[in-house]
Amino acid sequence: MGVDNRITDSELAEVEEAISAALESDDHSGLTILGYGEVSVAVGWPHGSPTWACKRMPPFTNQEAFDAYLALVTDYIATLTAAGVNVLDTEVRQLPGPNGSRIGYLVQPALEPSQLGPDVLRSADPTIGHPIIEAIIEAVMACTDGRTGIDAQVTNWAWIDGRAVNLDVNTPFMYDEAGHPVLDIDMFIGALPWAVRATQRKAGPKIIARWAKPRWALTDMAMNLHKDHLEEWIPLVVRAANSRLDDPIIESDLEAAYAKEAKLWVKLHRLKRIDRWWQRTIRRRRYQFLVPETTDYA
């Protein structure tokens, strides 16, 4: 899984330039998009035949803020690895931004679509199963200890050499003794119009805290199969999850639970597009997040 060669600073500056152009024009066609996630976008580089997946994080106000994020991601990867969870090689990099700000990137080897969880399941038979399911569930059980959580959605996993490998460490699920997320959620709330930031800032920690519990992580994994049109895998995933949980997931509850969750993501997507319009048209400044035209949750 090792990558000996790292992306150079000048290549990363080229990525930043291409993303900047896309942020200014709203035209993503100059980018090799490997995937839109809930909070970030994986951009393949070099364009057209990618070696790396580059995920641009929201700008950090200063070096200190970047350093805190770097430390958190590093700690998260070390914690997951110590628990026996495989994490894709991930490097946290930075570029200078305006006024002392730092632009952070998570850089990973670019994987083939066929290695990613959704495609792996799409090419397997849901009546027979696939070992990636057991492996993801095993990873969840191994690391969710109240202080650590993990996003078990199949979109966050790859199947590499017979092992499930997590590729989404952008928002580290680490909690303090009181169960509060260590991550500074303001970083991501900046994508939303200021009028809703206060409510989201209040709701955020509670939302993120849910992933500390294996039952929620596995419920989320099962119900989001609706989003990726992999519904036929739900019974098998629920059965596998329930063999490890004391408090079983009720399969018939998942559709309503997904509908509720999807509503929230659709709303956030709409709010981002409104804020983007506001920032550009009224404030005449750049909106810092690549927002897809549509969301898979719609």
Site residues, Mg ion (CB under 5 A): 37, 156, 168
**31 touches ligand ADP (CB under 6 A):** no
Pairing type for strands 91-96 and 41-45 reads unpaired
Distance CA(224)–CA(45), nearest Å, equals: 28
By beta-carbon proximity to Mg ion, the closer residue of 156 and 200 is: 156
Q: What is the DSSP string of 207-267?
A: HHHGGGSHHHHHHHHHHTTTTTT-GGGHHHHHHHHHTT-SS---GGGHHHHHHHHHHHHHH
Using CB under 6 A, which of 12, 37, 175, 249 touches ligand ADP? 37
Provide the 10 A C-beta neighbour count for residue 98.
7
**15 touches ligand ADP (CB under 6 A):** no
Using CB under 6 A, which of 73, 77, 116, 238 touches ligand ADP? 116
Check residue 278 and report its DSSP letter. Answer: I
Q: With CA atoms as reference, report the closest residue to 238 among 228, 248, 247, 227.
A: 248
Using CB under 6 A, which of 110, 223, 241, 291 touches ligand ADP? 110
**111 touches ligand ADP (CB under 6 A):** yes
**108 touches ligand ADP (CB under 6 A):** yes
By beta-carbon proximity to ligand ADP, the closer residue of 88 and 150 is: 88
Among the residue ranges 20-28, 38-46, 124-132, 262-270, the one whose residues contact ligand ADP (CB under 6 A): 38-46
Using CB under 6 A, which of 18, 31, 94, 168 touches ligand ADP? 168
Residue 170 interacts, among ligand ADP, Mg ion, none and using kind-specific CB cut-offs from 5 to 8 Å, with ligand ADP
Residue 148 interacts, among ligand ADP, Mg ion, none and using kind-specific CB cut-offs from 5 to 8 Å, with none
Provide the 10 A C-beta neighbour count for residue 263.
12
Look at residue 87 and give its three-state secondary structure.
strand
**19 touches ligand ADP (CB under 6 A):** no
Task: Return the bridge partners of 157, or none.
Answer: 166
Tell me the residue ranges of DSSP E strands in the chain: 32-36, 41-45, 52-56, 86-87, 91-96, 102-109, 157-160, 163-166
Using CB under 6 A, which of 39, 83, 185, 257 touches ligand ADP? 39
By beta-carbon proximity to Mg ion, the closer residue of 168 and 242 is: 168
Distance of CA 222 to the CA centre of its chain: 17
Residues engaged in binding ligand ADP (CB under 6 A): 34-35, 37-40, 42, 53, 55, 88, 108, 110-111, 116, 155-156, 167-168, 170-171
